[in-house]
Amino acid sequence: MSHTLYRYYGNGSTAKLPQCYDVNLLDSLIHVAVYFQASTEALQPQADLWLGETSSFYGSGAPNLSNTYVAGFLWLDKLGIAAVVGHKRVFRHDFIGGYFALLDANQNPLPDYWLSLLYKKLVGTKVVYVNGSLEYGRYLRVYAHCAKAPYPAGSVVLLLLNTNFTTATAELLNEDLASSYRDVFWLSPPAGDLTSTSVLLNGVLLELVDNRDLPHLVPAEDSPGSSLSVPSISFGFVVFRDTKIPAFLSVTIGSGDISRNWSGITFTAQRIINMAGGLAPAMLRVGGTDGDFLIFNPLLNKQQWDEVNKFVETVGWDFVFGLNALLRTPYPNGSWDSDNARMLLSYSTSKNYTVQWELGNEPDMWGTAIPAEDHAKDFLTLGDLVAEEKTVGKMLIGPDVAYSMDYFTEFIQSLPEGVLSATTYHQYYGNGNTAKLAQCYDVNLLDSYIHDAIDFQDTTEALQPQANVWLGETSSFYDGGAPHLSDTYVAGFMWLDKLGVAAVVGHKRVFRQDFIGGSYSLLDGDQNPLPDYWLSLLYKKLVGTKVLYIKGSLDYGRNLRSYAHCAKPPYPAGSVVLLLLNTNFTTATVELLNEELASSYRDVFWLSPPTGNLTSTSVLLNGVLLELVDNRDLPHLVPAEDSPGSSLSVPSISFGFVVFKDTKIPACTS
């Protein structure tokens, strides 16, 4: 169920030109949108809010205003505000009919049609936080989203409106944006006439081709820089195409699913798309033991490759694929035979797929004697191949060792700096066939990961300082996981603690084995979400990339385990989220020595098992069962509110997140 509201900026019969770019009039929507959103979330938390009918001015619009360029200020700003506050749909009145329509009486596109078309082409659903985007009195108005495919996952689009009659400057404080090349889609009126019924895109008139077909919307290219010049009294879009909004929590699908023709997952099912999209931005790694036995066409055919690439594009994920490293001439110990890889890379380039590349899985476990130094030469060959085939994705990632630090060290020592974008290793807490319940919250077992994480991080920083460290495959227990443990609530202790440790030591990505497949997956065999899926969804919703220091967060023997990050938007800049795990069977207390935290109101997202059953495949959020809405849609994740205080009570044998939403921690405001 959804609720709707209507909103116009005034009466069309009395509207005046300056109203269309009057910041006070534009600001009038903010209070209304925030109020209706908050009321809906409080009283009908399961329902979305739609702006069910809107345009510039009521009474069919304002002649010579609503149907002209200048009305775009009202329309684009409204789209920006509605997305920031959390509205799920905005209905433009009308497609055709009246002065406020997108098409005129002769069914020709008006300026707001072209603006809407660009929005649809460029703007993804995920809103990116911009400091001050709901403040009043902004003459330069800025909103941000993840950009839509075919821009690669991680690209950002800014919606920019300059309501002044002088050029404005937008300072880019984010280094990723400042260092990125940009595609500019700037809309302006012909001859500067704000009441023109035509519009220019980068100086070129927008019109139908042969009075029938949509034209190509061609951007102007702009170079990196620390600021943007925004032309006077105009608006448009700027796509930062080389950015990478971090995809820390990422997922895997085993290569074996390819040989089963993706039988475990329905890529086109809306419920799968919804659940996967909820974890975006993320990277999907398709790899594993079977990857070293896959041959492109026939074992991996073009249709299967197209399906997975279309899926990641749809849900906003990046993609990394593990190539077969055991094709060797002579077999088994000769040089890597790259012919089959070349076929796959060539096909991917022809389809414009963005794929990053691994080569081989757990080479320290291969039964053949391929030294790490020889495997490093394989990566040099792959690098040459990527350059020759002009692939869209150019990252090389490896070596994906199972555990051997010796193999890992020799491998990365044998490569020149700059070949690898990231080093990878795998980690599990033990064998799924012998795992016991108590291991899942055993602090000694949880602590065992700390040494590994630090070791791989330090070795990479010393030998390949330009490369990130990724935990390339991980879950609770190996060999498919432990039935009735890995797929239940209790496995969340291992998952949340691992995410906390990996972030503290400096890892940039953690790949959960599997999105679907085995007892350790996020979705069960019927493609239903398991407790660790809901934990991952909350992590994605709340936890920002900036890690905050907590004294003792890597100490051994901690029964109460805590980690801290800057909170994600829409929480305001300066907000902090704590990740808390209590492994004891008694309530624990966290003393808040920081005055900002102690004086802040809190949103609590606490996960617990139904009836206290640690091996339940369901999970409660603040006492309410988490489940899909209509077996398809993600629910609203509603916090419990908590008042300020100098301590936090942490329930026994459970875990969750606490957001301190009124803080202004300096590290989280820059």
Q: Active-site positions? A: 362, 473
Q: Which residues, other chains included, contact 135 with Cβ-Cβ below 8 Å and sequence gap of 6+? A: none
Which letter does DSSP use for residue 218 in this model? P
Instruction: Tell me the three state secondary structure of residue 543.
Output: strand
C-alpha distances (whole Å) from 420 to each of 110, 294, 308, 339 are 49, 23, 24, 21
Instruction: Tell me the three state secondary structure of residue 168.
Output: strand
Task: Enter the tokens of residue 97.
Answer: 């009919």
C-alpha distances (whole Å) from 320 to each of 107, 283, 288, 290, 506 are 45, 7, 12, 15, 21
Gap between the Cα atoms of 238 and 215, Å rounded: 19
Which letter does DSSP use for residue 620 in this model? E
**Amino acid in the structure at residue 538:** L
Number of neighbours of residue 107 by Cβ within 10 angstroms: 8
Q: Are 79 and 56 in contact (CB under 8 A)?
A: no
* Cis peptide, bond prior to residue 363, ω within 30 of zero: no
The closest alpha carbon to 375, from 409, 341, 418, 421, belongs to 409
Gap between the Cα atoms of 144 and 158, Å rounded: 4
At 454, give phi and psi (nearest 5°). Answer: -65, -40
Task: Enter the tokens of residue 184.
Answer: 């500019």
Gap between the Cα atoms of 252 and 322, Å rounded: 11
Number of neighbours of residue 14 by Cβ within 10 angstroms: 10
What is the Rg, in whole angstroms, of the alpha carbon atoms belonging to the chain? 26
Task: Enter the tokens of residue 129.
Answer: 């936080």
